[in-house]
Protein backbone atom coordinates (compact mmCIF):
# COMPACT_ATOMS: atom_id res chain seq x y z
CA UNK A 1 0.00 0.00 0.00
CA UNK A 2 1.27 3.47 -0.86
CA UNK A 3 2.48 5.82 1.89
CA UNK A 4 1.53 9.48 1.77
CA UNK A 5 3.99 11.31 3.99
CA UNK A 6 3.41 14.79 5.35
CA UNK A 7 6.77 16.49 5.89
CA UNK A 8 7.58 19.62 7.88
CA UNK A 9 10.33 21.20 9.94
CA UNK A 10 13.27 20.82 7.56
CA UNK A 11 15.42 23.88 6.78
CA UNK A 12 14.42 25.81 3.65
CA UNK A 13 11.05 24.09 3.29
CA UNK A 14 7.53 25.40 3.71
CA UNK A 15 6.27 24.48 7.17
CA UNK A 16 4.49 27.40 8.78
CA UNK A 17 2.90 27.49 12.20
CA UNK A 18 0.81 24.79 13.81
CA UNK A 19 -2.31 25.76 11.87
CA UNK A 20 -0.46 25.60 8.56
CA UNK A 21 0.93 22.18 9.42
CA UNK A 22 -2.49 20.87 10.36
CA UNK A 23 -3.78 22.07 7.00
CA UNK A 24 -1.03 20.00 5.38
CA UNK A 25 -1.81 16.93 7.50
CA UNK A 26 -5.51 17.27 6.68
CA UNK A 27 -4.74 17.47 2.97
CA UNK A 28 -2.56 14.36 3.14
CA UNK A 29 -5.27 12.55 5.12
CA UNK A 30 -7.81 13.46 2.43
CA UNK A 31 -5.46 12.02 -0.21
CA UNK A 32 -5.29 8.82 1.83
CA UNK A 33 -9.09 8.71 1.88
CA UNK A 34 -9.19 9.09 -1.89
CA UNK A 35 -6.48 6.55 -2.70
CA UNK A 36 -6.63 4.03 0.17
CA UNK A 37 -3.09 4.96 1.23
CA UNK A 38 -1.28 5.05 4.58
CA UNK A 39 -0.64 8.38 6.28
CA UNK A 40 2.75 9.04 7.88
CA UNK A 41 4.06 12.23 9.48
CA UNK A 42 7.69 13.30 9.14
CA UNK A 43 8.08 16.05 11.76
CA UNK A 44 11.67 17.22 11.94
CA UNK A 45 12.19 20.38 13.99
CA UNK A 46 11.26 19.12 17.48
CA UNK A 47 9.91 16.03 19.24
CA UNK A 48 6.17 16.00 18.65
CA UNK A 49 5.78 12.87 20.77
CA UNK A 50 6.43 14.94 23.90
CA UNK A 51 2.92 16.32 23.45
CA UNK A 52 0.96 13.88 21.27
CA UNK A 53 0.64 10.11 21.04
CA UNK A 54 1.06 9.55 17.32
CA UNK A 55 3.43 6.57 17.19
CA UNK A 56 1.32 4.74 14.59
CA UNK A 57 1.82 7.65 12.16
CA UNK A 58 5.44 8.50 12.99
CA UNK A 59 7.51 8.20 9.81
CA UNK A 60 10.65 7.39 11.81
CA UNK A 61 9.09 4.26 13.32
CA UNK A 62 9.10 2.53 9.93
CA UNK A 63 11.64 1.31 7.39
CA UNK A 64 10.36 2.91 4.22
CA UNK A 65 11.22 1.11 0.98
CA UNK A 66 10.39 1.55 -2.68
CA UNK A 67 10.27 4.50 -5.03
CA UNK A 68 9.84 7.86 -3.31
CA UNK A 69 8.80 11.14 -4.89
CA UNK A 70 8.41 14.53 -3.29
CA UNK A 71 6.15 17.50 -3.97
CA UNK A 72 7.33 20.70 -2.29
CA UNK A 73 6.05 24.27 -2.20
CA UNK A 74 3.66 23.68 -5.06
CA UNK A 75 0.73 25.90 -5.97
CA UNK A 76 -2.95 25.11 -5.80
CA UNK A 77 -3.10 24.87 -9.59
CA UNK A 78 -0.62 22.00 -9.54
CA UNK A 79 -2.65 20.22 -6.88
CA UNK A 80 -5.72 20.18 -9.08
CA UNK A 81 -4.23 17.62 -11.46
CA UNK A 82 -2.09 15.73 -8.95
CA UNK A 83 -3.59 12.38 -9.97
CA UNK A 84 -2.31 12.74 -13.50
CA UNK A 85 1.26 13.24 -12.34
CA UNK A 86 3.77 10.43 -12.57
CA UNK A 87 4.91 11.12 -9.02
CA UNK A 88 1.58 9.97 -7.62
CA UNK A 89 2.19 6.45 -8.90
CA UNK A 90 5.22 5.91 -6.66
CA UNK A 91 5.39 3.84 -3.46
CA UNK A 92 5.96 6.83 -1.19
CA UNK A 93 4.74 10.34 -1.89
CA UNK A 94 6.17 13.06 0.37
CA UNK A 95 4.11 16.24 0.45
CA UNK A 96 5.10 19.57 1.98
CA UNK A 97 2.15 21.97 1.82
CA UNK A 98 -0.19 24.20 3.81
CA UNK A 99 -2.86 24.15 1.09
CA UNK A 100 -6.37 22.69 1.08
CA UNK A 101 -6.18 19.77 -1.37
CA UNK A 102 -9.52 18.12 -0.59
CA UNK A 103 -11.56 20.92 -2.14
CA UNK A 104 -10.17 19.78 -5.51
CA UNK A 105 -9.83 16.00 -5.27
CA UNK A 106 -13.19 15.08 -3.71
CA UNK A 107 -16.56 15.57 -5.34
CA UNK A 108 -19.14 17.24 -3.10
CA UNK A 109 -22.76 17.44 -4.21
CA UNK A 110 -23.36 20.57 -2.18
CA UNK A 111 -21.73 22.99 0.23
CA UNK A 112 -23.11 21.19 3.28
CA UNK A 113 -21.31 17.96 2.36
CA UNK A 114 -18.09 19.89 1.82
CA UNK A 115 -18.44 21.62 5.19
CA UNK A 116 -19.25 18.33 6.95
CA UNK A 117 -16.23 16.61 5.39
CA UNK A 118 -13.92 19.48 6.40
CA UNK A 119 -15.26 19.42 9.96
CA UNK A 120 -14.81 15.65 10.38
CA UNK A 121 -11.41 15.68 8.65
CA UNK A 122 -9.89 17.92 11.31
CA UNK A 123 -11.73 16.18 14.15
CA UNK A 124 -10.16 12.90 13.01
CA UNK A 125 -6.70 14.41 13.31
CA UNK A 126 -7.09 14.91 17.06
CA UNK A 127 -9.17 11.81 17.69
CA UNK A 128 -7.03 9.35 15.71
CA UNK A 129 -3.67 10.86 14.73
CA UNK A 130 -2.46 13.63 17.04
CA UNK A 131 -4.02 12.47 20.30
CA UNK A 132 -2.92 14.66 23.23
CA UNK A 133 -0.81 12.63 25.65
CA UNK A 134 -1.89 12.15 29.28
CA UNK A 135 0.03 15.17 30.54
CA UNK A 136 -1.48 17.54 27.98
CA UNK A 137 -4.98 16.10 28.43
CA UNK A 138 -4.75 16.44 32.22
CA UNK A 139 -3.87 20.13 31.91
CA UNK A 140 -6.66 20.72 29.38
CA UNK A 141 -9.25 19.12 31.67
CA UNK A 142 -8.07 21.15 34.66
CA UNK A 143 -8.21 24.42 32.73
CA UNK A 144 -11.70 23.78 31.36
CA UNK A 145 -12.93 22.47 34.74
CA UNK A 146 -16.37 21.59 33.30
CA UNK A 147 -16.96 25.17 32.11
CA UNK A 148 -18.44 26.08 28.76
CA UNK A 149 -15.82 28.27 27.14
CA UNK A 150 -15.99 31.13 24.68
CA UNK A 151 -12.73 31.56 22.77
CA UNK A 152 -10.94 34.62 21.43
CA UNK A 153 -7.91 34.14 19.17
CA UNK A 154 -5.85 37.18 18.22
CA UNK A 155 -3.09 37.27 15.60
CA UNK A 156 -1.25 40.58 15.77
CA UNK A 157 1.35 39.61 13.18
CA UNK A 158 5.07 39.09 12.82
CA UNK A 159 6.10 42.71 13.42
CA UNK A 160 4.48 42.80 16.85
CA UNK A 161 5.77 39.34 17.71
CA UNK A 162 9.30 40.22 16.61
CA UNK A 163 9.35 43.10 19.11
CA UNK A 164 8.98 40.59 21.95
CA UNK A 165 11.36 37.83 20.93
CA UNK A 166 13.85 37.24 18.15
CA UNK A 167 12.48 35.20 15.28
CA UNK A 168 14.22 32.83 12.91
CA UNK A 169 13.23 34.71 9.78
CA UNK A 170 12.29 38.25 8.89
CA UNK A 171 8.80 39.39 9.86
CA UNK A 172 6.22 40.12 7.19
CA UNK A 173 6.26 43.88 7.60
CA UNK A 174 3.08 44.55 5.66
CA UNK A 175 1.01 41.92 7.46
CA UNK A 176 -1.11 43.29 10.31
CA UNK A 177 -4.18 41.03 10.64
CA UNK A 178 -5.67 43.26 13.37
CA UNK A 179 -4.27 46.56 12.12
CA UNK A 180 -1.85 48.82 13.97
CA UNK A 181 -4.23 50.85 16.15
CA UNK A 182 -3.69 49.27 19.56
CA UNK A 183 -6.48 51.30 21.17
CA UNK A 184 -8.97 49.95 18.61
CA UNK A 185 -7.79 46.41 19.30
CA UNK A 186 -8.09 46.92 23.07
CA UNK A 187 -11.64 48.29 22.74
CA UNK A 188 -12.62 45.38 20.51
CA UNK A 189 -11.31 42.83 23.03
CA UNK A 190 -13.04 44.52 25.96
CA UNK A 191 -16.25 44.77 23.94
CA UNK A 192 -16.32 41.00 23.37
CA UNK A 193 -15.51 40.32 27.02
CA UNK A 194 -18.32 42.64 28.11
CA UNK A 195 -20.88 41.01 25.79
CA UNK A 196 -19.90 37.54 26.99
CA UNK A 197 -19.55 38.44 30.67
CA UNK A 198 -21.75 35.56 31.86
CA UNK A 199 -19.36 32.95 30.44
CA UNK A 200 -15.79 31.86 30.98
CA UNK A 201 -13.67 33.29 28.19
CA UNK A 202 -10.43 31.74 26.98
CA UNK A 203 -8.16 34.14 25.12
CA UNK A 204 -4.89 33.55 23.29
CA UNK A 205 -2.59 35.61 21.12
CA UNK A 206 0.81 35.69 19.44
CA UNK A 207 1.94 38.49 21.79
CA UNK A 208 1.79 39.06 25.55
CA UNK A 209 -1.74 40.36 26.12
CA UNK A 210 -0.82 41.92 29.47
CA UNK A 211 0.55 44.79 27.37
CA UNK A 212 -2.89 45.39 25.87
CA UNK A 213 -5.41 44.70 28.64
CA UNK A 214 -5.27 44.23 32.42
CA UNK A 215 -5.80 40.46 32.53
CA UNK A 216 -5.84 40.25 36.34
CA UNK A 217 -8.88 42.52 36.63
CA UNK A 218 -11.03 40.33 34.36
CA UNK A 219 -12.33 37.52 36.55
CA UNK A 220 -14.07 35.59 33.77
CA UNK A 221 -10.94 35.44 31.61
CA UNK A 222 -8.68 32.38 31.19
CA UNK A 223 -5.24 33.22 29.79
CA UNK A 224 -2.09 31.07 29.81
CA UNK A 225 0.36 33.77 30.83
CA UNK A 226 3.53 32.44 29.25
CA UNK A 227 5.65 33.74 26.35
CA UNK A 228 3.96 33.02 22.99
CA UNK A 229 5.70 30.59 20.67
CA UNK A 230 5.39 30.35 16.90
CA UNK A 231 6.51 26.89 15.77
CA UNK A 232 8.31 28.04 12.63
CA UNK A 233 9.49 31.50 13.61
CA UNK A 234 10.45 31.39 17.31
CA UNK A 235 14.10 30.66 18.05
CA UNK A 236 13.26 29.35 21.54
CA UNK A 237 11.06 26.26 21.32
CA UNK A 238 11.25 25.40 25.03
CA UNK A 239 7.72 26.63 25.67
CA UNK A 240 6.08 24.73 22.82
CA UNK A 241 3.51 23.22 25.18
CA UNK A 242 1.69 26.56 25.41
CA UNK A 243 1.13 26.53 21.65
CA UNK A 244 -0.62 23.15 21.81
CA UNK A 245 -2.60 23.94 24.97
CA UNK A 246 -3.85 27.18 23.41
CA UNK A 247 -4.84 25.42 20.21
CA UNK A 248 -6.67 22.51 21.85
CA UNK A 249 -8.49 24.85 24.24
CA UNK A 250 -9.78 26.82 21.24
CA UNK A 251 -11.07 23.54 19.81
CA UNK A 252 -13.03 22.93 23.05
CA UNK A 253 -14.90 26.25 22.97
CA UNK A 254 -18.62 26.57 22.23
CA UNK A 255 -18.24 29.92 20.52
CA UNK A 256 -15.21 31.43 18.80
CA UNK A 257 -14.03 34.89 17.82
CA UNK A 258 -10.99 34.43 15.59
CA UNK A 259 -8.63 36.59 13.58
CA UNK A 260 -9.77 35.95 10.03
CA UNK A 261 -6.27 35.81 8.53
CA UNK A 262 -4.89 33.08 10.79
CA UNK A 263 -4.84 29.30 10.47
CA UNK A 264 -4.30 29.05 14.23
CA UNK A 265 -7.89 30.19 14.73
CA UNK A 266 -9.30 28.96 11.44
CA UNK A 267 -8.87 25.24 12.15
CA UNK A 268 -10.36 25.24 15.68
CA UNK A 269 -13.32 27.07 14.15
CA UNK A 270 -13.75 24.30 11.58
CA UNK A 271 -13.69 21.76 14.43
CA UNK A 272 -16.11 23.72 16.65
CA UNK A 273 -18.43 24.21 13.63
CA UNK A 274 -20.92 26.56 15.34
CA UNK A 275 -21.19 30.09 16.73
CA UNK A 276 -18.22 31.35 14.71
CA UNK A 277 -17.21 34.98 14.29
CA UNK A 278 -14.34 36.44 12.30
CA UNK A 279 -12.44 39.58 13.30
CA UNK A 280 -11.70 41.51 10.10
CA UNK A 281 -9.35 44.46 9.75
CA UNK A 282 -10.79 46.96 7.27
CA UNK A 283 -8.47 49.97 7.05
CA UNK A 284 -7.65 49.70 10.76
CA UNK A 285 -11.33 49.37 11.68
CA UNK A 286 -12.13 46.03 13.28
CA UNK A 287 -15.36 44.42 12.13
CA UNK A 288 -16.80 41.20 13.56
CA UNK A 289 -18.77 39.04 11.12
CA UNK A 290 -20.40 35.61 11.14
CA UNK A 291 -18.19 32.88 9.64
CA UNK A 292 -19.05 29.72 7.71
CA UNK A 293 -17.05 26.53 7.32
CA UNK A 294 -16.95 27.17 3.57
CA UNK A 295 -15.06 30.42 4.14
CA UNK A 296 -12.71 28.81 6.64
CA UNK A 297 -11.83 25.66 4.72
CA UNK A 298 -11.35 27.17 1.26
CA UNK A 299 -7.77 28.30 1.79
CA UNK A 300 -6.20 29.17 -1.54
Q: Across the strands, what pairs with 8?
A: 43
Residue-level pLDDT at 15? 79
DSSP string spanning the chain? --EEEEEE--TTS---SHHHHHHHHHHHHHHHHHHT-EEEEEE-SS-GGGTEE-GGGBGGGS---S-EEEEES--HHHHHTGGGSGGGGSSEEEEE--S--HHHHS--SSHHHHHHHHHHHHHHIIIIISEE-HHHHHHHHHHHTT--EEEEEE---HHHHHHHS-BSS---TT--TT-S-HHHHHHHHHHHHHHTTTSEEEEEESS-GGGTS-GGG-TTEE---S----TTTBS--TTHHHHHHHHHHHHT-SEEEEETT-HHHHHHHHHH-SSEEEEEEETTEEEEEE--HHHHH---
Give the Cα separation of 253 and 143 in Å (integer): 12
Give 52's strand partners: 132
Fold classification of 3-132 is Rossmann fold (3.40.50)
DSSP assignment of 209-272 equals GGGTS-GGG-TTEE---S----TTTBS--TTHHHHHHHHHHHHT-SEEEEETT-HHHHHHHHHH
Contact partners, residue 242, CB within 8 Å, separation at least 6: 224, 226, 227, 228, 229
pLDDT of the residue at 82: 60
Give the residues across from 96 on adjacent strands: 72
Domain ranges of the chain: 3-132, 135-297
Mean pLDDT of the chain, nearest integer: 85
Task: Between 248 and 69, name the one with better pLDDT.
Answer: 248
How do residues 240-272 score in pLDDT, each as one tens digit? 899 999 999 999 999 999 998 788 999 999 999
Please tell me if the domain spanning 3-132 has the same topology as the one spanning 135-297.
yes
Tens digits of residue pLDDT in 195-211? 998 899 999 998 888 88
* Stronger pLDDT, 227 or 191, i.e. the higher one: 191
Reported pTM: 0.87
How far is Cα 292 from Cα 269, in angstroms, rounded to an integer?
9
Contact between 157 and 171 (Cβ < 8 Å): yes
Task: Give 178's pLDDT tier (boundaries 50, 70, 90).
Answer: confident
Kindly state the average pLDDT of the residues 77-97. 71
Please report, for residues 58, 99, 104, 172, 300, the alpha-carbon distance to residue 80 in angstroms, rounded to integers and kept in the order given: 27, 11, 6, 28, 12
Position with higher pLDDT, 73 vs 115 = 115
Confidence band, pLDDT 50/70/90 cuts, at residue 134: very high
**CATH architecture assigned to 135-297:** 3-Layer(aba) Sandwich (3.40)
**Residue 168 confidence (pLDDT) above 80:** no
Phi-psi region of 101 (alpha: psi -120 to 50; beta: other; left: phi over 0): alpha
Cβ-based neighbours of 179, under 8 Å, separated by 6 or more: 185, 281, 283, 284, 285, 286
Q: Contact at 8 Å (CB) between 257 and 185? A: no
Q: Taking Cα atoms as reference points, which of 289, 279, 286, 256 lies closest to residue 180?
A: 286
Which of the residue ranges 43-47, 71-75, 78-82, 242-246 has the most confident prediction, judged by mean pLDDT?
Answer: 242-246
Amino acid sequence: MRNIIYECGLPNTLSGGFGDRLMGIASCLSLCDKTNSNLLIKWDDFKLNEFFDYEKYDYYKYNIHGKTEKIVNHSVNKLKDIFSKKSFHCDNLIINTNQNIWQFIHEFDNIQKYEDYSHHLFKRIFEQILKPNKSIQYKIDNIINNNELIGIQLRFGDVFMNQESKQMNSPQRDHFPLGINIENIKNMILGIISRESEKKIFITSDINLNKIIDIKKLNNLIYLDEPPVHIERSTNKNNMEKCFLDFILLCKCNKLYITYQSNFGRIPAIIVNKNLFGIHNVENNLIIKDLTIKELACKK
